[in-house]
Structure 1
């Protein structure tokens, strides 16, 4: 088997169970791997992965041995553990997970905790000098927060998502995320909702942490990731890299520019090919990301005459708010299921949004929609596939689409 499902607990049996005790105990048993290696921790709701990709690309351009852990993955679990820009080898991850099975049984780790533990061991084995840790969910009780040395915290945009785990108000979610901030850290954030700003300022005051607000980078910066929001994400990454000078690393701005220009993060406003036709993929899977995608659409040629959406949205997501943000009166949307996940259907959406009856269509899979477009005439602008990272991962895994 090469999907590692025999070694990683099933999410439906051992999914979200936010605590730090298990991680603390597991890392203690292992002698705290990487304990003294400094980490940039990246938290927030939307944009974490983009910030990580800018950081990783610049650190690799500077020749630093960096270890990076992210989530979720698109195709392979190996994507979640990277050393100097390269995913961990499948056989290395398999043998590491096998070695961790007794520890896993002892502490009943969640899948995320197990992978973060495996990451720390891999980073130690490769003598990484610096870590970049993307928070999985929340912050206060996230597995990455078990790492004791996080002198720099990069904060992506914080919005409403995972309310069932983190709280139903923006203030509650921000409090849960900001609780990861350690004493005396340097904290960098883009502009946030006023409720979020208050929480970050209060937390940093309590923790005697230094809070820096950054503005989007100007157009002279070439960025490898498309979309206007990336100027804010890159600005957070830039200040986080500059904060490393306090730890003895000084990265020349030319090296950072080179890293930012070559950053890649699949599935985020990514143009791909389906046969001879083009599609745009975006991982927007919550209302704040949908608002951002709607902003981006204003820059697309011919978008005012109508956009065709293909949307797969998990059942626990606020699909109503997402559709309200995305759909203009002249748009059409095909609703398809998220592979292997409970999903919104057209009929369920129409119960909430009856006014969209003429705009919403349904199909059981993406290929059916694309085949129809191919025979009826390919839309302009190109169709946008969004709503779920899992859908995008499935398309790449099955070879349905190929990157340009």
Structure 2
């Protein structure tokens, strides 16, 4: 995985800049107004394909040729794997660039070098620089941001980039990077069916297509149908496929090579994500990267990934925040909560293109209550549509178990107080106070919902 195409001294503005002390970023940057820099491209929406970005990159000096990359594909867990990899590599002294999506609060979250997000002014400058090429090639916003990430990484002297696939894989903008000899596959499940296909095999094929001749892939444990697709595509591409089993867990620590790793990312799902990250780190070590046991221990402990099983508070009330937004992620979240049984109050916003009925059927238990919240700027499921879909899928959920808050764009900051007031005072319609003792409140269903609540200051979170 050496730099290809362009000698390092010819990469644009290649230099090293003092970084913030630390291994993994803490907290979140403030929301950023890009002043309409992405709006002219927004009307193109989601349009998968590699040709547009490949057309634009030569005009930008081919920044993608200045560093090798590890690409992470899959459905659930991609961001966690990226975070673990980046933290370990940073602890090992590798100058690593990280490109992930979507963001919670600020566009800056998507692009960072080591623990440092791209500076706001630099993001604006780079968007201006790619503007002409973006207009000529008719780039989508995601493609323009991918070009910005490549340019920033080249300028910052990144030695290795970690690229999270945005959607699918075969036609995702990150796949335009020419040197992706290591691929990580997180858990693959049903999501984005309108773009990737209506069955697991079709979705897996789209994601597996990121494999290059001679590349190596490390895959989490998968559904048998997905396993078969990955194996077939790897064979056709003359690529190597390594399957890793979930790590064992002992007293809250991940067991690896007779060591107990403290992981800064919570949840049983890290048994799977951690296994993929460790498999990729082992492969990097085989290729000469300086991956020590100490760096692995430091990196895993320091890793943070906001919005995933994250503790928060609103006016003193404890909240659990999780961006679960598809059926598999909802099932994983429910399994995590079932480790400590008890009634749950769900504050859920689900975008209209998601399978809300399948999600809710996995989340709800008889003693739970679910309140549908609007997600500002997005079409969302309504209570009536959800009840009909649940019935259509054969799920019997009492109508009184689900309520909703109607959208009100002028009252975004008040969504959470309204929701909690409904839970506490008037759920049953009698106006009598509800005893909240022993009930947990979980906000889930959409990363966009979490981001809005965080940006508005409605939720206090711990780094």
Coarse TM-score class (shorter-chain normalised) = over 0.9
Deviation at 1:46, TM superposition (A): 0.6
One of 349, 352, 363 as aligned partner of 1:315: 352
3-state DSSP of counterpart to 2:440: coil
Q: Secondary structure at 2:370's aligned position in 1?
A: strand
Please give the per-residue CA displacement for 1:66-123, whole angstroms capped at 9, x wherever unaligned.
0110000000001110001211000000011011111111011111100010000000
Q: Which residue of 2 aligns with 1:362?
A: 404
Provide the C-alpha distance between the structure 2 equivalents of 1:313 and 1:98, rounded to a whole number of angstroms. Answer: 34
SS class of match (1:353): helix
> Which stretch shifts more, 184-193 or 362-371?
362-371
Match of residue 329 from structure 2? 289
C-alpha contact 1:9 1:110 (8 A) present in aligned 2: no
- Which stretch of the first structure deviates more once superposed, 371-380 or 134-143? 371-380
Following TM superposition, the consecutive aligned residue runs of length 4 or more in structure 1 with deviations greater than 6 angstroms are none
1:181-219 CA distances to partner (integer Å, 9 max, x unpaired)?
111111001100001000110111111111111112233
For 2:32 and 2:219, locate their aligned partners in 1 and report how far apart those are by CA, in whole Å: 39
Q: Which of 200, 214, 219 matches 2:230?
A: 200
Q: Distance in 2 between matches of 1:56 and 1:110?
A: 27
Shift of residue 34, structure 1, vs aligned partner: 3.4
CA distance in 2, matches of 1:165, 1:84: 32
Q: Out of 24, 40, 43, which is 2:73 matched to?
A: 43
- Residue matched to 1:163: 193
TM-score normalised over the length of structure 2 = 0.84
Q: Equivalent residue for 1:239?
A: 279
Whether 2:120 is the aligned partner of 1:90: answer yes
Q: How does 1:338-349 map to 2 (within 5 A)?
A: 338-349=375-386
Query: What's the offset of the Cα at 1:379?
Result: 5.1
Does structure 1 retain, via aligned residues, the 8 Å contact 2:42–2:141?
no
Could you tell me which residue of structure 2 aligns to residue 186 of structure 1? 216
Alignment equivalent of 1:267, drawn from 307, 314, 322: 307
CA distance in 2, matches of 1:36, 1:265: 27
State which of 152, 164, 169 in structure 2 corresponds to 1:134.
164
The number of residues matched between the two structures is 401
What root-mean-square deviation, in Å, do the aligned CA atoms of Structure 1 and Structure 2 show? Answer: 1.5
Q: What CA distance in whole angstroms lies between the structure 1 residues aligned with 2:41 and 2:389? A: 29
Structure 2 SS opposite 1:187: strand
C-alpha displacement of 1:31: 2.7
How far apart are the structure 1 equivalents of 2:41 and 2:199? 26
162-171 or 208-217: which moved more?
208-217
Partner deviation per Cα, 1:29-55 (whole Å, 9 max, x = no partner): 223113142111000001000101101
Length-normalised TM-score, structure 1:
0.96
Per-residue deviation, 1:141:
0.6
C-alpha distance in 1 between matches for 2:133 and 2:146: 13
Counterpart of 1:211 in 2: which secondary structure? strand
The reply on whether 1:398 has 2:438 as its aligned counterpart is no
The match for 2:444 is 386
Cα-to-partner distance string for 1:295-336 (whole Å, 9 max, x where unaligned): 112112x42xx2211110001110011111111122110111
Residue pair 2:64, 2:178 contacting (<8 A) in 1 also: no
The answer to whether structure 1 residue 351 and structure 2 residue 391 are counterparts is: no
User: Residue 381 of structure 1: CA displacement?
Assistant: 3.9
Per-residue deviation, 1:245: 2.2
Q: Distance in 2 between matches of 1:379 and 1:321?
A: 29
* Structure 1 SS opposite 2:221: coil
Change (3 A) 1:173 1:379: farther
Aligned counterparts of 2:95 and 2:42: Cα–Cα separation in 1: 35
Q: What stretches of structure 1 of length at least 5 have no aligned partner?
A: none
Deviation at residue 59 of structure 1 after TM alignment = 1.0
